[in-house]
Structure 1
Amino acid sequence: MIEPDFEDRLVEAIQPIRQLAVANAIHQLHDSGLYASLADPGGIPVDELATRHSMLADRLSGFLRYLRNEGYVTVAADRWTLSKKARRLEPFLPWYTLLVGGYASTFTQIQDTLRTPGGYASRDGGKVGRGSCGISMFDALPLARTLIDATGAADVTVVDVGCGDGSFLAELCASHPGVFGVGLEPDAGGFALAERTVAERSLEGRLEVRHHGATDLRPDTVPAGRPVVFMAAFVLQEVLEQAGEEAVLAILRSSVEAHPDAHWVVIEVDHRPEDQELMGNGLGLAYYNPYYLLHTVTEQRLETRSYWEGLFARAGLEVVRLAHPDPRVDSTSLELGYLLRRCRGETAR
C-alpha cells in the first residue's frame, strides 16, 4: 500500500541525487569555459555559444535548460547568461574543481577500495592540483605568506615540493617581490599545467618548475645565493602513505643537512573526523567530512597535529610558529601551518 505522503518522502530522499547532478553540472559549466562565455550580462545565442566551444547545439540547449531549471542561467530572446545565483559561485569554483573534477571518480570506487587490500581509488591529479591551488588562494597562500615573512628574510628561494599547477607558487612570487620560486611536481598532468602557468605569468627569472617529486630533492634543486624555504602544502600526507614515514623523515632531514639555515613551511590538515562538534555543522560537514572520506580511500594519509609535531621533532626540526587560516575563511582551525627550522634549542611557538 502506497502511503499518502510517498511522493513527499521520495522528493526528500533523492535530494542527494539531485545535488550530485547539480555539482557535476556546475563543474562542467566552469571547466568547459561555458561559465566565462555566459558571464556577459548581454547574453549569447546558443548557436554562437556552441560554435565557440565546439559543441553540439541541440545537446548544449538541453544542458542550458537543465541549468535554467536549477536557477543557474537565464534566457531572454534566445540569449543565455549566468544568473545572479551562478555569478555568486565564482570565488568557490575551485572547490568544484577539486572535489568534483579531481575526486568524483574516487567516490564511485569506495566499495571496491574497501574490499581491496593495498588498493586505492584513482583521481585526476591535474584537477586535484588545480583545485587545491585555487582553494589555497583563500587559505593556504595567505598562511604561507605570513610564515615566510616570519623568517625575516628579504629575498628568499621557495622550493615548493609538489607545486600542482604552479598557480600557488606563481601567486606567491607575484605578490612577494623578494620570493623566487622553484616548483617540483611529480604528476604529469599537474606538471603540464605548471609549465603553462609559468609561460602565462610575467615572472621570468623568478619562477621555474621541474618534473620530479619530493623524494627527488637533489643539491642542485636550490639555486645558490639566497636564504631557502622549503614548502610542502598538503604534500607530506601523500609521501607518508606512498613511501612511508622514513621517506618523510629523510626529505626533512636531508634538506636541512644540505641547507642548515633553511626553513620549512609545512601546511597540513589535522585529522579529527571523530570530533562531532566540528563534523556536525558548517564547514566541517560541508567540506572536511567528504575530504576525510576521500583520504580514506586514496593514496594519502592524514594525521593529527600531535603526530606531525612529533615527526618534526624526530626529523630534528623545531616549530618556530604555528598558524591557521583567517577564521573568516575557515574557523575550524583544522588547517595547520608550520614554520620549521633545524633545532637550535627550546622550541618557540
Structure 2
Amino acid sequence: MPVLLTLTSTAPDASALGFLLHKHPGRAQVFDLSVGRAHVFYPEASAERCTVALLLEVDPVEVVRGRRFSDHGTLAHYVNDRPYAAGSLLAVALGKVFGTAMRGTCVGHEDLADAALPLTVHVPVLPCRGGPGQVERLFGPVGWSVEAAPIPLDDAFPQWGDSRYVDVTLTGVVRLADALSHLYVLLPVLDGSKHYWVGPDEIDKLLRRGGTWLAEHPERAWITRRYLAHKREFVTDALTRLAALDDEAPEASDVAADPVECEATGNDDIGAEAIKTVPLVRRRKDAVLQALRDTGAHRVVDLGCGSGSLLHELLRDNTFTEVVGTDVSAGALALAERRLRLDTMSDRNRARLTLLQTSATYRDARLAAYDAIVLMEVIEHVDAERLPALVRAVFVHARPGCVVVTTTNVEYNVRYEGLGHSDLRHPDHRFEWSRAQFQSWAQSVAAEHGYTVEFRPVGDSDPEVGPPTQLGLFVRDQLVRGGVA
C-alpha cells in the first residue's frame, strides 16, 4: 500500500479540524512533491469524530532519478521501501501540506489552535530498528500513549520472525501544531534514512519544528544525531542551541554517535569533544528567584513552565509555600512530572505543587490573586499581535502582586558566532527586542495597569550591547517590598 497516515480528532465539534488544517473536509486535494504526489482527504467528518488522511504516492522512478535515497549501494536506489513506509518523504509531505497548521496559525480560530485536543494518529507501516520500545521512548515523553505492534516478515511463515516495521497508533490530548511537529521530526528519526542531502539549514528546521519540546526531551541527543545524519559539526551546533533552552550543557557523549549507528552509516569519525557553553540558563533562574525573594512572594505561578526547570528550584526553597506550573502543552507538563519525579516526591512538596494546562493568552480564574507570576523566556514565543491578550490575562485578570518577565536582548546577538543584529536567537522566537524596545513596552504596560517596573541585567553585561538577557520586575502599586500590603 502507499505511505499512509491518519489523524483523528474526537474533540467537541470535531469537524473544526478542517479549519485548523486549512483543508476542507468536503473535498479531496492533491499536492505535487519532488518524488510523487500527496493526497489529502477525510474518510469521516462529523461533529463527534473527524479523520484526515495523508496518502503519499511515491514515484520510484523519481526516487532513482534524483538519487533521493541515503542507503549505500547501487541496488538500494532501485529496490527499497520508500513507496510503502513512513519516513522522511512523509515528513516532507507533512511540512508542505500542513505547514500552516504546524506553525499553529489559524486566523479566526486562535483559541482552537492553542487548545489541546484529543487526537489519535495511525501510521500503519513505520520503519523502526529499535522495535516498539523505541517508538515509546520517543513519543511517550511528549504526551502520547503508544501502541506499536511489530509487523511479521510473512504471515504465512511466522517462524521467520518480525520485520523492522511497526504498526503505530498514538493517542493523546495534544495541541495540533505540536502533534504535527512531533511527527515531522520523529518519523524520519525512527526510520534513520533521509531521501535528501542534510545541510546546515536542517539545523534550523530541527529547532523550528522541535522547539522547546525537543530541548526537554530525554532522548534529545539521539534524536538530534539521527535527524542530522550524524554530522558532528551540525550535531554540536544543534545541541549547543538546544542546551540554551534547558538547564544542561550537552555532554560529550551526546555528540558522539552510537557505535551501531556509526557502523551502519559509515560516520565513525564523530568525535567526543566536550561542548562548552556559558551557563546563562542558571543565571536566569537565579535572577528570577532573587526577584521573587525581593518582593516577599510566597505563592508563585510559573506561566509557561515547560519541563519544570524553574519549578524544581522553587520547590527547593521553602519560602515558596505554593507553586503552580502552567503550560499550553500537555507533553510539556508530562515532562515536568517526570523531571520533578512526582511519583516519588514527598507529600509535603506534592501538596505545594499544582500543574495546570492553560494558555498564557487566555483568562483563567485559577491564576487570580497569586503573589507572583513568572514569564521566563515566554513572551518572545508569542506572536506580537497576541501580546495584548497576554497582558490582559496577566495584568488585568490574574493581577498578581508582582510579575517577573525575562526575555532575550537582541543587541547581544552580535556576540554569538553566526548571529547578526537582525538574526533571531532561536527559530521559534516570534520577535526579539533591544533594551530600549523592552523597556518601552514594559513601562507602557506598568503605567496602564498600576504597576511600577524595575529592569535588571541577566548574565555578563557587555559595555556596548548590554547583557544577553533582560529582566523586568513589575510590582503592583499596592504592594510593599517584603510582602503584600
Given the alignment of the two structures, is residue 147 of structure 1 paired with residue 291 of structure 2, yes or no? yes
Give the structure 1 partner of residue 320 of structure 2. 178
Distance change in 2, residues 1:168/1:201 (3 Å): farther
* Structure 2 counterpart of 1:338, from 448, 458, 472: 472
Give the structure 2 partner of residue 6 of structure 1. none
Distance change in 2, residues 1:314/1:235 (3 Å): same
The amino acid that maps onto 1:270 is: N
* Structure 1 counterpart of 2:336, from 194, 215, 235: 194
Give the structure 2 partner of residue 134 of structure 1. 247
1:205-284 to 2 correspondence within 5 Å? 205-222=351-368, 228-241=371-384, 244-255=386-397, 258-259=398-399, 262-272=401-411, 279=414, 284=415
The amino acid that maps onto 2:214 is: K
Residues 302 and 310, structure 2, Cα contact 8 Å, conserved in 1? no
For residues 177-217 of structure 1, the C-alpha deviation after alignment (integer angstroms, 9 at most, x for no partner) is: 33421111112321210122341543211112112221234
The CA distance in 2 between the partners of 1:106 and 1:165, in whole Å, is 28
Residue 272 of structure 1 and its aligned partner are, at CA, apart by 1.4
Give the structure 2 partner of residue 306 of structure 1. 436
The CA distance in 2 between the partners of 1:146 and 1:164, in whole Å, is 20
The CA distance in 1 between the partners of 2:350 and 2:374, in whole Å, is 21
Normalising by the residue count of structure 2, what TM-score does the alignment of the two structures yield?
0.39
Distance change in 2, residues 1:264/1:171 (3 Å): same
Residue 233 of structure 1 and its aligned partner are, at CA, apart by 0.6
2:467 aligns to what SS in structure 1?
Answer: coil
If each structure's strand is expressed as a fraction of its own residues, which one has the higher value? 2
Equivalences, count: 220
Distance change in 2, residues 1:287/1:325 (3 Å): farther
Residues 165 and 194, structure 1, Cα contact 8 Å, conserved in 2? yes
Give the structure 1 partner of residue 143 of structure 2. none
Residues 106 and 121, structure 1, Cα contact 8 Å, conserved in 2? no
The amino acid that maps onto 1:211 is: Q
Residue 231 of structure 1 and its aligned partner are, at CA, apart by 0.5
The amino acid that maps onto 2:215 is: V
* Structure 2 counterpart of 1:108, from 202, 215, 224: 202
Distance change in 2, residues 1:237/1:312 (3 Å): same
The CA distance in 2 between the partners of 1:176 and 1:291, in whole Å, is 42
If each structure's helix is expressed as a fraction of its own residues, which one has the higher value? 1
* Structure 2 counterpart of 1:285, from 409, 416, 420: 416
Residue 311 of structure 1 and its aligned partner are, at CA, apart by 1.9
The amino acid that maps onto 1:240 is: D
Residue 219 of structure 1 and its aligned partner are, at CA, apart by 1.6
The CA distance in 2 between the partners of 1:294 and 1:332, in whole Å, is 16
Distance change in 2, residues 1:319/1:106 (3 Å): farther
2:350 aligns to what SS in structure 1?
Answer: coil
The CA distance in 1 between the partners of 2:411 and 2:374, in whole Å, is 24
Where does structure 2 lack aligned partners over 5 or more consecutive residues?
Answer: 1-129, 135-184, 187-197, 218-242, 249-279, 479-485
Normalising by the residue count of structure 1, what TM-score does the alignment of the two structures yield?
0.52
Residues 379 and 387, structure 2, Cα contact 8 Å, conserved in 1? no
Residues 137 and 168, structure 1, Cα contact 8 Å, conserved in 2? no
The CA distance in 2 between the partners of 1:190 and 1:326, in whole Å, is 26
The CA distance in 2 between the partners of 1:163 and 1:246, in whole Å, is 20
**Percent identity, aligned pairs only?**
19
2:282 aligns to what SS in structure 1?
Answer: coil
Distance change in 2, residues 1:253/1:189 (3 Å): same
The CA distance in 1 between the partners of 2:357 and 2:433, in whole Å, is 27
Residue 326 of structure 1 and its aligned partner are, at CA, apart by 4.9
